[in-house]
Chains A and B, each alone.
Chain A
Amino acid sequence: MMADLTAAPLTTADIHAQYGEMTRRKRLYGGILLILFVALMAAGFRTADNRSAGSFRDGITHVFDYPAEVLKEAGEKLALLPGHLVDFFPALIETLNIAAASTLVGLVFGTLLSLLSTRGMAPWPRLIPLFRRIMDICRAIPEIVIALVLIFLLGGGPVPAMIAIAIHTAGALGKLFSEVNENASLKPVEGLESAGASWGQRMWLGVIPQVGPNYVSYALLRFEINIRASAILGFVGAGGIGYELKNAMSWGQGRYDEAAAIFLLLFITITLVDQISGLLRDRLIHGAKA
């Protein structure tokens, strides 16, 4: 090393030239990438524009037409709004129930899947890749796919949505949980094993207390997401507030006040749950740190 350095002494001018060269090259690459990226975005936008029924240029001038109509009608029938809010409250509760039940079911199955696919905890280490793939597939299926198929089998209602969201939740939480598991200490598990504990006991007493707060924090985050998902699934016929929204919408003018009430309910719920779960998660993490 020393010999190399002394053999080729670099003057300041050399260094400056080299640095300049490198900077230029970096800028060139960056520029090319940027141009490519912008071209890709522009081409993508043009394609999307061409393949849509309405064009962007026409549509953008009408973006606020619909909200304005809804607000106008809701404003005219402002007196009816509290009544509508009460009327649609049961539907909202159903949506929340779908989200909560599917989060709980997903939590249970996600925990199982994650324990089965973590090295050092899995009872059958050979099957770890299998359980990982199952998790990947559960996570990859959009809720709507399972929901639509189940609606065909079970008829409309909350259960298809619940199962669909639970499957996705199990996959998504399973992946997050197995990352948490990898950071958990295996010493309690070994200790329990030496005392003759079964697999269930080892997991329940050795692992879950370590990872519990993290699990709950992730599950809360998932609950927020699942409320949105269950509202969307309602729109395709799975009950709850989304279904009511679709009915009010397809009716069109004359029931915009109902649509406005549903928008309002959904907005308030999502914002509220976001705030509460944010606070709870904060407390879970900081509480454990203290």
Chain B
Amino acid sequence: MTIIEATVSPVLLKQDMDHLFLKKKLFNFALPALLLVYLAYVFVAFDMAGLWQRVSWQNAQTLVSDSYSYKTHVTRNNRDASVSVAIEGERKGRYPTGQSPEWVMLGETTVIDLEGGHLVRFGPDDIEYDIPGYGLVRATPQGSKGVQVTLPAGEVPDWISVSKNRLAIKTEAGRLTVTRNRSEVFRYFVGWELFFFTLDSPYHGLGLGELLGRAATGEAGAILHDFWTNKMWRHQDVAWAIAETLLMAFLGTIGAGIVALPLAFLAARNFNPLGPARFVMRRIFDFVRGVDSLIWTVVLARAFGPGPLTGALAILVTDTGTFGKIFSEALENVDEKQIEGVASTGAKPAQRYRFGVIPQITPVLLSQLLYFLESNTRSATIIGAITGGGIGLLLTQAIITQKDWEEVAYYIVLIILMVMLMDWLSGWLRRRLIKGEGGRAKRKSRAAGKAFLLP
């Protein structure tokens, strides 16, 4: 410090400082300005302004309400006056003939209690809806003549729509639609319908206590079977899908590690004296990495068809490039002294590698493998959605139907849990297998952080 002060005049120092400040000021102004310009460009290029009009609020509403609630349909065939009850209107959720939930009383006149005083009656000839605070609405379907509707006196509120052939009422208790051929009541419930047992299972609607009691008396197998083969939620298929996704990630990552390790020796300067061979190997790694996993997936799907095999191989090929690069860099950083030490005891080449090299690169190798295992669980979900395998496929299928949003929500929750579990597992294994690695890494990065301290 003193030397500098002695040789540089204050004027020069001041000039230098002014120059630096000007540079800094300009830089500090130009960078945010550039970013703003770019963001404005993206705003225009992506047509963000028009986005507001394109948002489908109808879809958003269905999505949100359907993901936490379900509806039960009570349907009257207006031709023969027969009434059926089905959850979500699906065949899988239909009550057997003659059976119904408590709030539907089947009979000559079927009475549907929507609670809060809302009562719907499917009579032999006409349909009545008793709306508290409004009055009685009567609709009579008359075949080819359409639907005859009688409303209470006064203006028709906007939640009732009446036309010649159709009556639709939407209240907070439920929905009634009457057409010439069909009368239908929807009642909404919070929750996921039939999650544990479908209606055809004897265990549907039983409490947890009773189920446990029955399980204790020897029905555990049957109970599990009914849960496992639930047609609505397909727990078996979902479990297999998750297993497939994890399998893709596992096979791909470990396979890539196994393939990349010997190749990395070929690409490392201190283990392969042949320059051209090294160059070729490195370009192969770069090529495999550069041909993205998307392209590998597309190409491999042609050969192996949909399924976990394609996903596993796509991950394997892509990560072979990445691992090859990482491993060869780790090999180049290997400490020669340890190898010399092993060699000085008269070790043969194989033993020199086994005891001189492998112990040094194992921590890098393991921690990279585990890190990629977690990130590949996510990739496997995405690849599954493209090629058709694992939980990714189930998710895309559920989204394409555009009505089973509760299943979509279920899969999303499962995917998040799966990835978080793998994240935790990989972190735990990393800490267990590479003892003290965490501490060292932290110290190293702290040193690096100091170096980043700007003047």
Q: Do A and B come from one complex?
A: yes
In-complex Cβ contact of B292 among A100, A154, A180, A266 (8 A): A266
Q: Which of the segments B13-21, B190-198, B208-216, B245-253 contacts the partner chain?
A: B245-253
Question: Which residues in A have their C-beta under 8 angstroms from that of B304?
Answer: 52-54, 56, 59
B449 within 8 Å of A (CB atoms): yes
Contact A144 B381 (CB under 8 A): yes
Complex Cα gap A136–B423 (Å): 9
Contact B251 A66 (CB under 8 A): no
Complex Cα gap A41–B385 (Å): 24
Q: Which of the segments B50-58, B93-101, B151-159 contacts the partner chain?
A: B50-58
In-complex Cβ contact of A153 among B48, B60, B240 (8 A): B60
A236 within 8 Å of B (CB atoms): yes
Q: Which of the segments B106-114, B274-282, B294-302, B330-338 contacts the partner chain?
A: B294-302
Question: Which residues in A have their C-beta under 8 angstroms from that of B382?
Answer: 142-144, 232
**A7-36 CB contacts (< 8 Å) to partner B:** none
Q: Which of the segments A74-82, A109-117, A194-202, A205-213 contacts the partner chain?
A: A205-213
Contact A100 B38 (CB under 8 A): yes
User: Hey, what's the 0/1 contact readout for A69-112 against B, CB within 8 Å counting as 1?
Assistant: 00000000000000000000000001001001100100000000
A120 within 8 Å of B (CB atoms): no
A45 within 8 Å of B (CB atoms): yes
Question: Which residues in A have their C-beta under 8 angstroms from that of B453?
Answer: 185, 210
Given contact pairs A54-B303, A97-B45, A235 touches B294 in the complex (Cβ within 8 A): yes
Question: Which residues in B have their C-beta under 8 angstroms from that of A159?
Answer: 46, 48, 51
Question: Which residues in A have their C-beta under 8 angstroms from that of B306?
Answer: 52-53
- B39, B251, B304, B420 — most chain A CB neighbours (10 Å): B304
User: Hey, what's the 0/1 contact readout for B370-388 against A, CB within 8 Å counting as 1?
Assistant: 0000000011011001100
B445 within 8 Å of A (CB atoms): yes
Question: Which residues in A have their C-beta under 8 angstroms from that of B406?
Answer: none
User: Hey, what's the 0/1 contact readout for B289-332 against A, CB within 8 Å counting as 1?
Assistant: 11111110011101111111110100000000000000000000
A118 within 8 Å of B (CB atoms): no
A282 to chain B, nearest CB (A): 13
What does DSSP make chain B's interface, helix, strand, loop or mixed?
helix
B26 within 8 Å of A (CB atoms): no
What does DSSP make chain A's interface, helix, strand, loop or mixed?
helix
Given contact pairs A48-B251, A48-B312, A183 touches B445 in the complex (Cβ within 8 A): yes
Contact B399 A59 (CB under 8 A): no
Chain A residue at smallest Cβ distance from B445 = A183
B65 within 8 Å of A (CB atoms): no
Contact A153 B56 (CB under 8 A): yes
Contact B420 A140 (CB under 8 A): yes
A–B complex contacts, Cβ < 8 Å, 28 sampled: A41-B255, A44-B250, A48-B248, A51-B240, A55-B309, A100-B42, A142-B378, A142-B379, A142-B392, A144-B385, A145-B381, A145-B395, A145-B412, A148-B399, A149-B63, A153-B55, A153-B56, A153-B59, A158-B45, A183-B442, A183-B445, A183-B448, A210-B453, A228-B292, A228-B293, A232-B382, A236-B385, A267-B291
